[in-house]
Amino acid sequence: MASLHLPSLTTPKTANSMHSLSPSSHTIFPKPSHFLLHAKRSNRLQVSCADDQNHKEPSQNVDRRNMLLGLGGIYGASNLVSIPGASANPIKPPELDKCGVATNLNTGQQLDINCCPPISQNIIDYRLPPVHRMKTRPSAHKVSPEYIFKYNMAIDRMKRLPKDDPRSFMQQANIHCAYCNGAYDQPGQGTLDLQVHNSWLFFPFHRWYLYFYERILGKLIGDPTFALPFWNWDNPKGMTIPPMFVDPKSALYDEKRNPASMPPAVVDLGLTGSTDSLQVVTNNLTVMYSEMIRANSDVFDFMGKPYREGTAVNPGPGSSERGSHTAVHVWVGDPRQPSGEDLGNFYSAGRDPLFYCHHGNVDRMWSLWQYFLPSNKIPDKRITDPDFLNASFLFYDENAQLVRVSVKDCVDNLRMGYDYDRIDLPWLDYRPPPQTAGARVTRTGTSAAKADTVFPLTLDKIVRVLVPKTKKGKADELLVIENITVDTTKFLKFDVFVNDEDDNVVELDKAAYAGTYAQVPHKTANKSATTSIRLKLTDLYDDMDVADDDTVLVTLVPRHQGPGVTIGGIKIIENPKPATQPSG
């Protein structure tokens, strides 16, 4: 049964908001839960149709806006480009003249689009313009009729642009197809794909993507202050598709969405299939607490693993990417379509205007995690590795000028000139209730084998295994799920439980829920990829009786249908000290 420890979802308004709209003031709430907050060489791309170091957070009496804008921010310093001893192997921007043409991976037939952008030899290095007035991205459920009218007009004008205009609606949609479905090779690396998902590039790429999309829309309606909305799916008041996107007469409408997900349906961030709306809401808040706070041991657990020149395309997604981000894509995508189009597949996701609203909230999660969540668990939340900071992409700006941008210039949204409307974060204090009695792991009898005897295995049903701890007591440990090999053309997801007492796998709001792995269908060169994930167990141990246990019972629950995931092994390791400059 769903837990009923739902916190208050409303907070009295106060003049002491955490980022006011005034650029001159920026105070911080004392309580964080009250934040206002291939065959490319043959020109055929196969696209799946089966689908400063030791940075510290500012103290509560520090004006972060003045600190970051006045001083330029920790990442504003150009000397970070040439840090002594840097490996100098960041991901380089693609070569547009070597882009491939999209085809259906299953049939070999061409898709109805070419993902490749217009080619220009005139590339300039983009410089962030000075911020004279901060734009505030609004919650999509709270916008006014005037805003909706303006947003509709902007999208309508984008759809009316000539097809070869890089700012047109389909050209903008194709950006996601090209960067996310293998249209580009890594320059100088043969036929090794360039992929912006499943690594530390996930957040920066999408931030730049929305940045230029927003500026193009503003240019089209003559309003440089226009700001994209965000879908506030992490708050119960925003857990339905925003109303402005469901009007068939609106430019914001897309017919390729799951009819079962239309309002008043509540978004299912756990993809458990529960039909109990209260249970879905409590699951959602648990998912958010887990991926933002509980399951992360260091910055890479949240951001994604390092991705450098010459690296395979699936080093490993962070907790937010493989959690709520993927769930929303799949939940909205239309199961009547061959591959869950539009939002449910990377190549087509940008065709749905809701995509940009969804990713507005994904971007907001990065900003919240960087600056406003408790820092006692992970004091270093920024990546200072030059291979991260100097990675770069190509976009067309609002003037149809091809520009080169780098990660180091997008790590702070305030320096880019936009902020987010302040919305309560009910998930921030939504720690699952303690498990009052130790799980009787022996009750499973022969159904739970020792982990070292059952792997590798294909995960097409619920699997339970006994995994030895490194030491007795409530140790600081990590659960490592290794060699997760997936069919990238399919939606795949599994949840992880530890010492689950009741085995009700529809309920996530309990101490036993450790985390998740999920992917949106996309194309890779070999239709498969291998990665691993880490789940922090420290808080989980605090919430259940494990002090006298030598082993824990790990339960893997697939949420997808059929095979598609092979797992090489599971182990528990002692939590190492976080590294600020990983070697690989």
SS3 assignment for 374-404:
CCCCCCCCCCCCHHHHCCEEEEECCCCCEEE
Who has greater pLDDT, 183 or 72? 183
Q: How confident is the model at residue 229 (pLDDT cuts 50, 70, 90)?
A: very high
Q: Does the pLDDT of residue 245 top 60, yes or no?
A: yes
Under 8 Å between Cβ of 462 and 40: no
Q: Strand, helix or coil at 444?
A: helix
- Range name among 166-180, 297-311, 409-423, 437-451 with the lowest pLDDT average: 437-451
Nearest C-alpha neighbor of 529 from the set 318, 310, 315: 315
Q: Does the pLDDT of residue 227 top 70, yes or no?
A: yes
Strand order in the sheet with 448-450: 448-450, 463-468, 551-558, 492-498, 513-519
Quote the pLDDT of residue 439: 55
Stretch 21-50: mean pLDDT = 34
Instruction: Verify whether residue 206 is a known catalytic residue.
Output: yes
Quote the pLDDT of residue 527: 81
Instruction: Verify whether residue 522 is a known catalytic residue.
Output: no
Instruction: Verify whether residue 35 is a known catalytic residue.
Output: no
Stretch 63-90: mean pLDDT = 41
Structural domains of the chain in order of their starting residue, each with its CATH number: 41-429 (1.10.1280.10), 441-574 (2.60.120)
Buried-state track 47-57, b at ≥16 Cβ within 10 A, e below 16: bbbbbeeebeb
What 8-state DSSP symbol labels residue 117? P
Cα 332 to Cα 209: distance, rounded to the nearest angstrom: 21
Q: Strand, helix or coil at 282?
A: helix
Under 8 Å between Cβ of 25 and 63: yes
Q: Does the pLDDT of residue 54 top 90, yes or no?
A: no
Q: How confident is the model at residue 113 (pLDDT cuts 50, 70, 90)?
A: low
Number of residues that make up the chain: 584
Instruction: Verify whether residue 329 is a known catalytic residue.
Output: yes
Quote the pLDDT of residue 546: 83
Q: What is the pLDDT of residues 134-172, one digit of tens each?
A: 999 999 999 999 999 999 999 999 999 999 999 999 999
Q: Name the catalytic one among 325, 358, 522, 560.
A: 325
Q: Does the pLDDT of residue 84 top 60, yes or no?
A: no
Under 8 Å between Cβ of 23 and 134: yes
Instruction: Verify whether residue 560 is a known catalytic residue.
Output: no
Could you tell me the pTM of the whole model? 0.83
First CA to last CA distance, the chain: 43
User: Residues annotated as binding site for Cu cation?
Assistant: 176, 197, 206, 325, 329, 359
Q: Name the catalytic one among 197, 358, 522, 560.
A: 197
User: Residues annotated as binding site?
Assistant: 176, 197, 206, 325, 329, 359
Q: Name the catalytic one among 19, 34, 329, 560.
A: 329
Q: How confident is the model at residue 314 (pLDDT cuts 50, 70, 90)?
A: confident
CB proximity list for 444: less than 8 A, separation 6 or greater:
464, 553
Quote the pLDDT of residue 522: 78
Q: Does the pLDDT of residue 442 top 50, yes or no?
A: no
- Which H or E element spans position 177? helix 169-180
Whole-number percent of the chain with pLDDT over 70: 78
Alpha helix ranges (H) inside 304-411 = 319-320, 326-332, 354-371, 386-389
Distances (CA, A) of 385 to 54, 86, 246, 486, 580: 12, 8, 43, 28, 7
Cα 74 to Cα 500: distance, rounded to the nearest angstrom: 43
Whole-number percent of the chain with pLDDT over 90: 66
Q: Name the catalytic one among 26, 38, 176, 358.
A: 176
Quote the pLDDT of residue 528: 84
For residue 255, count CB atoms less than 10 angstroms from its CB and return exposed for 0-12, middle for 13-18, buried for 19 or more: exposed
Quote the pLDDT of residue 57: 34
Q: What is the pLDDT of residues 480-508, one digit of tens each?
A: 999 999 998 889 999 999 998 777 899 99
Q: Does the pLDDT of residue 98 top 50, yes or no?
A: yes
Please give the structure tokens belonging to residue 262.
């239309």
| Beta bridge mates, 450 | 466
Instruction: Verify whether residue 346 is a known catalytic residue.
Output: yes
What 8-state DSSP symbol labels residue 536? E
- Which H or E element spans position 146? helix 145-160
Cα 504 to Cα 527: distance, rounded to the nearest angstrom: 33
Quote the pLDDT of residue 408: 98
